Amino acid sequence: MTLRSDRDFSNVDCAEARAMAQEALLIAGQSEVPQTARNHAAVCVRCRSTIDEMSRAEGLMAAAFRAARGRIPAPPGELVEEIVSSVGSLAPAAGLLRRIRRSVSRMLWLSLLFLSFLPLCWLAWWVLRALIDLNGR
Ligand SMILES: [Zn+2]
């Protein structure tokens, strides 16, 4: 019994624990890290801070996504596919990018949200200028 639980705490190394956390948080979009990875993080300071960072990043993106959902449409899946595939298989980051497709989709969506403010600023400036013109006559 004791041996078994000792094994549960140590049967993954740093790379495996981080991969598991990355898989859960950034790829599957879960808010929880698997128990095995959490067990490892409990005894490994470096993995704990890495996993915390990942968790924070995922939390921020998910919160922003929830807060503004419905205000502008999410980027279409084909656009994400296009961006991911245009990177090409030779780029070292291509594999990772393909795996974090879900996060790419969210980042793209947040960029679109940001860009959607630009026409609004332009419109406000245009209305202001029209009002100034009217008053000047
Ligand atoms: Zn570790």
Clarify whether residues 62 and 85 are in a common domain: no
Clarify whether residues 61 and 10 are in a common domain: yes
- Considering 69, 94, 129, which residue would you say is the last residue of a domain? 69
- Considering 46, 69, 92, which residue would you say is the last residue of a domain? 69
Residue 73 CA, ligand 1 centroid: distance in Å: 39
Residue 40 CA, ligand 1 centroid: distance in Å: 6
Residue 49 CA, ligand 1 centroid: distance in Å: 10
pTM of the shown model: 0.47
Clarify whether residues 86 and 131 are in a common domain: yes
Q: Which residue has the higher pLDDT, 13 or 9?
A: 13
Q: How confident is the model at residue 1 (pLDDT cuts 50, 70, 90)?
A: very low
Structure confidence at residue 38 (pLDDT): 92
Clarify whether residues 119 and 56 are in a common domain: no
- Considering 36, 69, 102, which residue would you say is the last residue of a domain? 69
DSSP string, 54-96: HHHHHHHHHHHHHHHBTTBPPPPHHHHHHHHHHT-TTSTTHHH
Residue 44 CA, ligand 1 centroid: distance in Å: 5
